[in-house]
A and B are shown apart, each in its own frame.
Chain A
Amino acid sequence: DTEVTQTPKHLVMGMTNKKSLKCEQHMGHRAMYWYKQKAKKPPELMFVYSYEKLSINESVPSRFSPECPNSSLLNLHLHALQPEDSALYLCASSWLADPGEGYEQYFGPGTRLTVT
């Protein structure tokens, strides 16, 4: 199974809402990632978890709160978002995290988030 799943596919939320994005992989990967992608732009790294511990936070605002309950699951908790946070949120996993040789990343289909 080389699939990364994400739920929900689409999410519309108001600026005062609290919601969560979920990601799951069963490939035994020990690194999991959250990316934000705007239209016609590359994925922008937000967080990296390595062995279930947060290893990289790319200075992401605190209204985004990641969580890694176990080696297969990754959540992104959202609170008091702004309209400019509307984007495609991608989860990815890899065998291990960079630094290192560089490992192939497997991406989920993403959650299309709209903040109103």
Chain B
Amino acid sequence: GQQVMQIPQYQHVQEGEDFTTYCNSSTTLSNIQWYKQRPGGHPVFLIQLVKSGEVKKQKRLTFQFGEAKKNSSLHITATQTTDVGTYFCRYGGTSYGKLTFGQGTILTVHP
């Protein structure tokens, strides 16, 4: 069956350092979404990637979908304390069934 790993589980960075989280699948994905959940908050949609090799940018955030559509990454340049939270991927299999949340990466930013 489909197995998707989101890594790392935790990441501690100093403010100004870069951060990357990955979702890696054993099988091809139909699409992938990224969400951010602040401490005490609820998940907020960031982006959706559908095409092979797709790259999208939102200010300091860069999202990529691999050429084989088996992995995706979220990269934050020069982290700020406002970036603190848990980042989840939400992925769909090629059967276009329901999407599933990854385990999440908890980001801590030290000022």
Contact = CB atoms under 8 A, between A and B. Distances in A.
Interface residues of B, number: 26
A102 B99 contact: yes
Interface in B34-71: 35, 41-45, 48, 50
Contact of B48 (A44, A90, A104): A104
Contact of B88 (A42, A104, A109): A42
A40 B48 CA distance: 23
A105 B48 contact: no
Interface of B: 30-31, 33, 35, 41-45, 48, 50, 86, 88, 90, 92, 95-104, 106
A1 interface: no
A-side interface mostly: loop
A90 B40 CA distance: 12
A10 B14 CA distance: 34
B92 A102 contact: yes
B32 to A, nearest CB: 8
Interface residues of A, number: 23
B50 A42 contact: no
A48 interface: yes
B97 A98 contact: yes
B104 A101 contact: no
Contacts of A108: 42
